[in-house]
Structure 1
Amino acid sequence: MAEQGAARAPALPEGRVHPDTILALNGMGSFDWDLDTGLLTMDAQAHRIFDLTPQEYDGRPESLAARVPGSESTRLDSLVTQAMKDNSERYGTYLRIRRRDGSLTWIHTQGHISRDTSGRPRRIIGIVRDATDELDDGAGLSERAGRRERMNVVQSTTAALAHARTVQDVIDVVRDTHGLTRFGSTSLVLGLVEAGRIRLVAEGPKGASVPGTRVTRIDEPYPMSEAVRTLSPCFIESPEEFAERYPVLWPRLTDLNITSAAYLPLIAQARPIGGMGLLYSDRRGFTPEERDILIALGSSIAQSLQRAVLYEQDKDLARSLQQAMLPRTIPGVPGADVAVRYRSGYDGGTSGRDVGGDWYDLIPLPGGGLHGGARVGAVIGDVQGHDTHAATVMGQLRIVLRAYAAEGHTPATVMARASVFLHELDTDRFATCLYAEADLSTGVVQVVRAGHIDPLVRDDGGCRRVSVDGGLPLGLSAEFGGLDYPVCTMELDPGETLILCTDGLVEQPGADLDDGVRSVCASVASGPDDVEALADELIGMSELRGGDDDVALLILRRRALAEQQPVACVRQHVPPGDPEALVRARHAIRAAARSLGAGTRSDEIELVADELITNALQHTEGPAVVTLRLLSGPGRRLRVEVEDPSSALPRRHADRPAGEQGVSGRGLLLVDHLADSWGVQARGSGKCLWGEFVVPEPE
């Protein structure tokens, strides 16, 4: 390695001495650490300082493990890492290394961190030297070694606390017997202040707390209570002092052979949040330096505890906000089994306020068959961002979309109006969304997609992705004038399952989206038939995979109803001013009614359909759409529906004056007389008049 480093050195003018020679004459060796490749090149003098031959060192820092003890290596790694995070240019420290014969000696190393134009560390160039002579002054070396050992504990504990997010994480670090017991303490206890009391939350080793002190008042005569009450550390340097100052507690400690103790208040923002006690069995008294180190340790623990408490409070607030924005319950749906799930991807994040804008919803729709199953709207969506603003936008968008769907608007209209609403909120957020309107009596599903991932369908042959033509995400389509959302019509047979999810379920770090979809399809195909069990399995899969994104999931399985009958549907469009279209619609209704076994009631069904169509064409300016379908389930019924664009509700003859010759206004009386039941439903800006007829069972 040294020879390689020397070979790369540039030639110097005659009479000039190479820097490596100057370093060697001063007992210094040099190293060059390439952070991109991880290779650490050392010159010959550095090899001698580490007591290594070039053949024993392969250029990897890990190869120095035989010479650098684990605690020293950890401390050096922490020092270098912190220097790089702080944008420092250099660092320096003393290290103990183990020579070939097993003896320990001191070296000093310092390095210069070289960065690229973006500030990223790329290279560390530095020197090492033997520091045994300057530190080896008999007792001074032992004292420095002890001091350095204590500082190592503080540094390693502080480094571990930096990764603690929850209160339990802090507790786990504090009671780690491989950390604080290096101070020589026999045991430790940690308590938190709660409503004027101190509750012990950690002890090390197990059973180290004194009986009767699990919960104490701050005004009681105990050393931890005093430290918390006075906001000052309490150092007890001898058993005699302990017995004199705390006569109530001391009798309980006599069997533990306690010779001294240190109780530290945990203070954050000038108020006590807890206290920590360290008890010793083999020492008396504390030097000023030891007191300073313990106080610094207590300060570090206090800051970590406060950060953890705030994190958990923010996390609870975010979770409550998310749950408030999502539907509290999902209604039961005749003809279907439904399961919904939500998983936050930021449970392990650095901020408790990280909350996503993913949502699901299931909306009962007007016009469902009375016996054959409901009409429902299934929604899945994701508002851009992970913060409380995304969650509040999501809540508003969910409510508005639900209102538009419940009014009876078509799926494309629901999506377009939701996009306009989001755009008018004056927010910089957009949202992806998928809306599926399902008639569970017929199995017909109309799907509209706004920048969202496609739905999945599971059948007997496995699971497939249904390709749906989509429009721009909500908000963007209104901004750029692209409010036309294509509608994809599909059929969901009994036993088939519709799966809607957000991209957090299918996206995998470093993998293509299509690969993630195929993976989820495979899991769905091999998963359980029960929708609740399937939902649990898919969410469990996403939790194992991890990731920062949230997951919203809605699963709808169409089930076969008892005594289900064949289902048929006829739909005719009747434009205004086209008598032939009205005749064709009447003929289609009569023929369909007869083919569906209506028998003698076919004429009544045709007459009611004619009255409803004529009423729509006479009293509105738009077209009429007539539908005839057989409702599934016991008690066979044929249902006639006529939709028109007017929101004005019809009135019976008794409610308004008759027209010319007393004929106009009697149509609804005829409908009321012929149909077994009838009614009117709002459909967005229009309405739907319907009538139902009981028909005989087929022979």
Structure 2
Amino acid sequence: MVDRGASELPLPDDWLAHPDPVLALNLMGSFDWDLDAGVMHMDATAHEVFDLRPDEYDGHPESLTVRVPPVEGRKLDTLVSQALKDGSENYGAYFRIRLRDGTPRWTHTQGYIRRDETGRPYRVIGIVRDATRELREIGARTEQATLDEARRRRTDVVQVITAALAHARTVQDVIDVLEDTDGITHLGATSLVMGLVEAGRIRMIAAGPRASYVPGTRITRLDVKYPMNEVVRSLAPHFIESPEEFAESYPLLWPHITDLQITSAAYLPLIVQARPIGAMGLLYNDRRGFTGEERDVLVALGSSIAQSLQRAMFYEGEKDLAEGLQQAMLPRSIPSVPGADIAVRYRAASFGGSLGRDIGGDWYDLVPLPGGRVGAVIGDVQGHDTHAAAVMGQLRIVLKAYATEGHTPATVMSRASAFLHELDTDRFATCLYAEADLSTGVVQVVRAGHIDPLIRAPDGSCRRVTVDGGLPLGLSAEFGGLEYPVSTIELDPGDTLLLCTDGLIEQPGADLDDGMLTLQALITTGPDDVDDLADRLIDVAEERGGDDDVALLL
């Protein structure tokens, strides 16, 4: 192609009148490609786009190979050939050329294909332009979009982690959230380490993956020159931006983690109410340095983790206290009873809400009585807190005392109700007291608002025994209904009597009667041994979970 003014090739009749000024204003050159003659006319601006002097172009497209690298030329030829063959009206492409001084330039061409009445292409009219600035702007927008997407991902990860931490109840729950695939690893960390401050030392509670654990760091003094220890002392985060900085700053630690190929790390103090409770470290093997925004995100995340850890530590302390109180209120041991096999179980509630509420007022007791008799008690004080457990402990003691004194089952129950009514509490309790004569199999049962007992025969069949009952303990005294009816049932050798609280029967969204039928089916198909049967029933309750504790006596 030659400059229009210098070209001796004849121009087409419909060539644009004075195209140079029109297109040059838009930094575009024009071309007219006669496919039959094999010549391509280009204007002066097109020459400039290709960085060609008029005498360097002879009007044949092959002359452009001096500026178009072979790889780019083949891609462009393939695109144009396909457009000519498939009936397209136009084509467009970006391609690179190399200027006279070797500088690369992105170029864009757009061609309009003219065809005769048979559809045969005979001419292409189009433009060619310098697209370097355009693609640079596109690249900048793409880079900004990439940065925005990375920022959005970091924000999403923080939101996901924060939401998950809201449900963490124990320290291990917090660790599990951070080690989960939706947790810290989405921030790009290779390894996570975490420690808690205890008695002037740091105890490591998480180090993953396993290869990242350094021997001798399970418990360390605060003055040891380790990064977690330092951020606890300084109450400030520490960002290590290169392996060289890590090796120089922590020569004792670095040799033990070289296999992890760490390139940078972020250590964050875990602070609650201006007091450090621990520290966390995130180690990376695919980056160097941290932007200001990344540092801010990690510091904010550390604050959220610290709050969750504090709640978890408080919860675990409350839970230990509650369980200790519960166990102290229950019998330390169940006496052996000649002629009977006894099994008892207790399962604490599993609340997802308030801390320190994994405790209730359920209890069991076994009272050896004169003449080969035995008293079995199962009960449930209203509420799930330490007050319920305290009331339960007092009720258990007085029930046992009244039974040991030789009172009848009805009297034992009425006196217990009066006792609860006189306590400074608004709690009531359901209870079932069964007094069995093991020499005859006769059982006298008194029920105070509690669920009925169950009996399993030696053949495995199980039935619910409906017994008369009165109001729950405390309420019967308040409403003047201290008379409790006594029901008599008979046990045959090999029969199993089961007493339980409603936590074993109630299921979310299910009717109480349906729960009783489910329990009967479990008992029917369960093992014969009372200990094995008790294990199976309590395991089922544990798997099911629920917001009520369970007491069981067989």
TM-score, normalisation: structure 2: 0.71
Match of residue 453, structure 2, among 449, 452, 455: 455
Classify 1:514/1:281 alpha carbon distance in 2 versus 1 (closer, same or farther; 3 Å): closer
State which of 208, 211, 222 in structure 1 corresponds to 2:212. Answer: 208
The 8 Å contact of residues 351 and 546 in structure 2, kept in 1 or not, is answered as no
Which secondary structure state, in structure 2, belongs to the residue aligned with residue 338 of structure 1? coil
Indicate the residue corresponding to 1:144 in structure 2. 148
- Using the alignment, how far apart are the partners of 1:211 and 1:177 within structure 2? 26
Is contact 1:453-1:503 (8 Å) kept?
Answer: yes
| Equivalent position SS for 1:322 | helix
Is contact 1:376–1:439 with CA below 8 Å preserved after alignment? yes
**Stretch moving more, 443-452 or 537-546:** 537-546
In structure 2, do the counterparts of structure 1 residues 377 and 278 end up closer, same or farther at CA, with 3 Å as the change threshold?
same
Structure 2 counterpart of 1:482:
481
Shift of 1:394: 0.5
- Alpha carbons of 1:286 and 1:468: their partners in 2 closer, same or farther (altered >3 Å)? same
Distance 2:401 2:165 in 1: 49
- What CA deviation, in whole Å up to 9, does each residue of 1:165-192 have, x standing for no partner? 1111111122235532333333332222
Q: Would you say 1:377 and 2:381 are equivalent positions?
A: no
After TM superposition, the structure 1 stretch with the greater mean CA deviation from structure 2, 336-345 or 477-486, is: 336-345
1:135–1:141 Cα contact (<8 Å) kept: no
Displacement of 1:135 in angstroms is 13
Alignment of 1:582-621 (within 5 A): none
State how far apart, in whole Å, the 2-side matches of 1:252 and 1:459 are. 64
Residue 329 of structure 1 corresponds to 333
Amino acid at match of 1:259: T
Q: In 1, distance between residues paired with 2:216 and 2:496?
A: 59
> 2:226 aligned with 1:222, yes or no?
yes
Aligned length: 417
State the partner residue of 2:306. Answer: 302
In the TM superposition, residue 542 of structure 1 has moved relative to its aligned partner by 2.1
- After TM superposition, list the pairs within 5 Å mapping 1:463-474 onto structure 2: 463-474=462-473
Give the alignment of 1:651-670 within 5 angstroms: none
The alpha-carbon deviation at position 349 of structure 1 amounts to 5.7
Instruction: Name the amino acid aligned to 1:203.
Output: A
CA contact (8 A) 1:177 1:204 kept: no
Deviation at 1:285, TM superposition (A): 2.7
Residue identity opposite 2:270 in structure 1: L
Measured on the aligned residues, the alpha-carbon RMSD in Å equals 2.3
Give unmatched runs, 5+ long, in structure 1. Answer: 1-132, 369-373, 556-699
Following superposition, the deviation at residue 140 of structure 1 comes to 3.0
Give the SS at the match of 1:262: strand
**Are the counterparts in 2 of residues 186 and 281 from structure 1 also a CA contact under 8 Å?**
yes
Deviations 1:375-427 (A, max 9, x none): 11111111111111111000001101111111111111111111100000031
Structure 1 residues 520 and 257, CA gap change in structure 2 (3 angstroms): closer
State the shift of 1:331 in Å: 0.7
Aligned twin of 1:439: 437
- The residue type equivalent to 1:408 in the other structure is G
Q: Which blocks of at least 5 consecutive residues in structure 2 are unaligned?
A: 1-136
Residue 460 of structure 1: how far off its partner (Å):
4.1
Q: Which residue does 2:384 correspond to in 1?
A: 386
1:518 aligns with: 517
Contact 2:350–2:545 (8 Å) recurs in 1: no
Supply the AA of the counterpart residue of 1:186: T
Q: Distance in 2 between matches of 1:138 and 1:535?
A: 65
Within 2, Cα distance between the matches of 1:134 and 1:383?
A: 71
Mapped contact 1:432–1:474 kept (Cα < 8 A): yes
In structure 1, C-alpha distance between the alignment counterparts of 2:279 and 2:295, rounded to whole Å: 16
Amino acid at match of 2:444: Q
Q: Deviations over 1:273-305 (max 9, x none)?
A: 211112233433322222111111111111111
The secondary structure found in structure 2 opposite 1:473 is coil
Query: Normalising to structure 1: TM-score of the pair?
Result: 0.57
Trace 1:615-634 onto structure 2 (pairs within 5 A): none
Residue of structure 1 aligned with 2:319, choices 315, 326, 330: 315
Aligned to 2:545: 546
Q: Which amino acid aligns with 1:547?
A: G
Map Cα deviations across residues 298-338 of structure 1 (whole Å, 9 max, x no partner).
11111111111111111111111111111111111122111
Question: Do the aligned residues in 1 keep the contact of 2:157 with 2:182 (CA within 8 Å)?
Answer: no
Q: 1:134 to 1:325 in 2, by over 3 A?
A: farther
What is the identity, as a one-letter code, of the residue corresponding to 1:188? L
- Report the CA distance shift for 1:274/1:477 in structure 2 as closer, same or farther (over 3 A): same
Correspondence for 1:503: 502
Q: Which residue of 1 aligns with 2:350?
A: 346
Residues 241 and 505 of structure 1: CA distance in aligned 2, closer, same or farther (over 3 Å) = closer
Alignment partners' CA distance in 1, 2:529 and 2:237: 60
AA at the equivalent of 1:213: T
The one-letter code sitting in structure 1 at the alignment partner of 2:529 is D
Greater radius of gyration (CA) = 2
**Cα–Cα, structure 1 residues 195 and 358, in superposed 2: closer, same or farther, change >3 Å?**
same
Give 1:501 deviation, angstroms. Answer: 1.0
- Structure 1 residues 443 and 305, CA gap change in structure 2 (3 angstroms): same
Q: In structure 2, how many angstroms separate the alpha carbons of the residues matched to 1:496 and 1:398? A: 26
1:278/1:485 CA distance change after superposition, 3 Å: same
Q: Rate the CA distance shift 1:332–1:234 in 2: closer, same or farther, 3 A.
A: same
User: Cα–Cα, structure 1 residues 244 and 473, in superposed 2: closer, same or farther, change >3 Å?
Assistant: same
* Distance across 1 between alignment mates of 2:256 and 2:436: 72
* Cα separation, 2, equivalents of 1:263 and 1:516: 51
The Cα offsets for residues 470-522 of structure 1, whole Å up to 9 and x where unpaired, read as 11111001000011111112222222221111111222222222222222223
Shift of residue 260, structure 1, vs aligned partner: 2.5
Counterpart secondary structure, 1:412:
helix
Does the aligned pair in 2 maintain the 1:260–1:280 contact within 8 Å?
Answer: yes
Q: Which secondary structure does the structure 2 equivalent of 1:336 belong to?
A: coil
CA distance in 2, matches of 1:416, 1:429: 16
| 1:171 paired to 2:169 | no
1:96-144 alpha-carbon deviations (Å, 9 max, x no partner): xxxxxxxxxxxxxxxxxxxxxxxxxxxxxxxxxxxxx999845433322
Residue type matched to 2:287 in 1?
A: R
Matches within 5 A, 1:47-126: none
8 A contact 1:446–1:488 mirrored in 2: yes
* RCO higher in structure (CA 8 A, sep ≥6): 2
Distance 2:518 2:539 in 1: 14
Q: Give the residue type in structure 2 aligned to 1:447.
A: V
1:271 aligns with 2:272: no
Equivalent position SS for 1:317: helix
1:185-204 map, 5 Å: 185-204=189-208
